[in-house]
Amino acid sequence: MDLPILSVIIFLPLLGALFVSILPKKGVRLLKWSAMLFMLINLALSIYLFILFGGKDIMFVERVSWIESLGIDYFLGVDALNVLMILMTALLFPIALIAGWERIGLKGESAKLYMALLLGLESALVGAYAALDIFLFYIFYEAMLIPMYFIIGLFGGERRIYATTRFVIYTIIGSLLMLVAILVIFFKHYATAGVFTGDIIALSAVSFAPGVKVFLFFAFVIAFGIKSPLWPLHSWMPDAYVQSPSSGSVLIAGLMSKVGIYGFIRFAIPLFHDLGEAYAPLVMALAAVAVIYGAMIATVQKELKRMVAFFSFSHVGMILIGLFSMNTNGVEGAVLQMANHAIIVSALFIIVGIMADRRDTTEIADFGGIGSVVPKLSTLFMVTILAAVGLPGLNGFVAELLIIFGAFKSSLVFGILVASGALLGAICMLWMYERVFFGKVTKKTNSSIKDLSARELLALIPLIVLMVWIGLFPGYFLNKIGPGVERYTKDFSAYSEAVVTSDFESPPILTEETTSDNNESEIPDSGGLQ
């Protein structure tokens, strides 16, 4: 058998966590570098995985029976829906580590704990993305709460305990509800097929009485809605984002919130595709509220971290609208935007974190006109903001365009709402930028703040490069995810069947069995920019 690359990507960080926890506590540099080494190896493996990945199949499948009596398998695989996020996870961890390199400011045990928690979180996140067994997914999904709880609770701001408790309780209530739903589906499958299985693909074939089905569907919507977050389940979000240490905000907003969206894509919609279609207007309406309301709230924030948090909330709503438009453009946009949003929001939080390092404040009013003092920082911030608001040539544009197209195809109203949400977001961000960077320096203390250090540049440059790269050459990425997404949206159950027939060898080659009868006109995937 080939190298079980997915298992390696999942468990290498965990091994790293164990490794750093046995290192001597005095050598903080050694701790950091060891953690970094593990993360970089993982990044290299993920890039390799991404390069090898191609097309519509589920690849790199690993399947071993795990809890035999219940038919629960250790079942992993990569397809168009998760490949980008696995890459992003592996990328953002070292970046978050570099960004918090000095800020951690911890000695001995706490530094050790911090590194171990980061590595443990990476394991759980990749695991959640790669799992194709519903129980396995659930286990990783829940397990990532543990390190995140400590990252916020131990290393966060003033109100960290309040924020982290609230975050965990919201998430747990959602996921326990999901667990009940999973159990019901699991038994219904057993009752009809006579075998236990946690295989998401097999479970998607089960049929239910209409009332039960609606309950199950909404159990998933609430669980993933809390995680994403979807309006009105978001009230844990501002505190958690703001109270996290900067690197924590990067991970929670950049990666953990995506697990919620990914849950919709991988579980809620395929398991209940007809309900997904039936209730799409409802979910899209909630997401549209998030888009508009989030952008408006972001505009009036006086504090940068909160502003970025609400801006991110607004953009997550946009991704969900794309997803629930349930057509190829929308879903493709959503999948790509998940990665884009991870990049952009991480960059925003890192920059805000850097500003907080300099001045111990993130109030907008405490800055003003610092553009001339910190040219590097203001330039990179500008690029990030332009990417965030969807300027052509940067990554935000391609995906947002696809989402807006998808939304318009599904309904005119949502198209208009998404488009205006994007506009509001742009206003909010640019206005903030103007207040912080343009004009004369308003406060004396600001005239001497330092520009970006080499370490900070090192954290930001890869993100900026990706923004430009995806913006200019989206084709490379869209070609990877396009075929898979197309099959996904063409017929959700056919997608499942196609996967079910695979022989679970690594990597399996699936025969093309769905003929193209879909006459949807497609947007050229490069958006004419290539």
Which spans of this chain sit near another protein (rule: CB under 8 A)? 21, 66-70, 109-110, 112-113, 135, 138-140, 142-143, 145-146, 149-150, 153-154, 161, 165, 168-169, 172-173, 176-177, 179-180, 183-184, 186-187
CA pair distance 67, 75, nearest whole angstrom: 12
User: 151 or 242, CB closer to another protein?
Assistant: 151
DSSP 265: I
User: 111 or 404, CB closer to another protein?
Assistant: 111
Query: Least Å distance between CB 176 and another protein?
Result: 4
Query: Least Å distance between CB 116 and another protein?
Result: 9
| CA 207 vs CA 200, 265, 271, 272: distances in Å | 14, 19, 9, 9
User: 248 or 527, CB closer to another protein?
Assistant: 248
User: 142 or 303, CB closer to another protein?
Assistant: 142
| DSSP track, 192-212 | HHSS---BHHHHTT----HHH
Query: Least Å distance between CB 213 and another protein?
Result: 14
Query: Least Å distance between CB 171 and another protein?
Result: 9
Phi, psi of 198 (to 5 degrees): -105, 5
Query: Least Å distance between CB 146 and another protein?
Result: 6
Query: Least Å distance between CB 66 and another protein?
Result: 7
Phi, psi of 393 (to 5 degrees): 100, -15
What the block records as the tokens of 302 is: 């006086």
Query: Least Å distance between CB 450 and another protein?
Result: 28
User: 133 or 486, CB closer to another protein?
Assistant: 133
CB 317 within 8 A of CB 289: yes
CA pair distance 384, 95, nearest whole angstrom: 15
Query: Least Å distance between CB 527 and another protein?
Result: 41
Indicate the length of the chain as a whole number.
Answer: 530
Chain centroid offset of residue 423 CA: 23
- Dihedral angle sign, alpha carbons of residues 73, 74, 78, 82: positive
Beta strands in 22-83 (DSSP E): 59-67, 72-78
Query: Least Å distance between CB 92 and another protein?
Result: 23
Q: Which of 448, 457, 433, 443 is nearest to 358 (CA)?
A: 448
User: 150 or 231, CB closer to another protein?
Assistant: 150
| CA 145 vs CA 120, 227, 360, 503: distances in Å | 10, 11, 28, 34
User: 96 or 182, CB closer to another protein?
Assistant: 182
CB 321 within 8 A of CB 418: yes
- Which 3 state secondary structure label does DSSP give 55? coil
User: 153 or 421, CB closer to another protein?
Assistant: 153
Pairing relation of β-strands 59-67 and 72-78? antiparallel
Give alpha helix (H) positions in 301-374.
Answer: 304-324, 328-359
User: 150 or 293, CB closer to another protein?
Assistant: 150
User: 168 or 307, CB closer to another protein?
Assistant: 168
User: 37 or 183, CB closer to another protein?
Assistant: 183
Query: Least Å distance between CB 21 and another protein?
Result: 8
Query: Least Å distance between CB 112 and another protein?
Result: 7
Q: Which of 440, 401, 441, 435 is nearest to 418 (CA)?
A: 401
- Which 3 state secondary structure label does DSSP give 243? helix
Q: Which of 457, 465, 494 is nearest to 204 (CA)?
A: 494
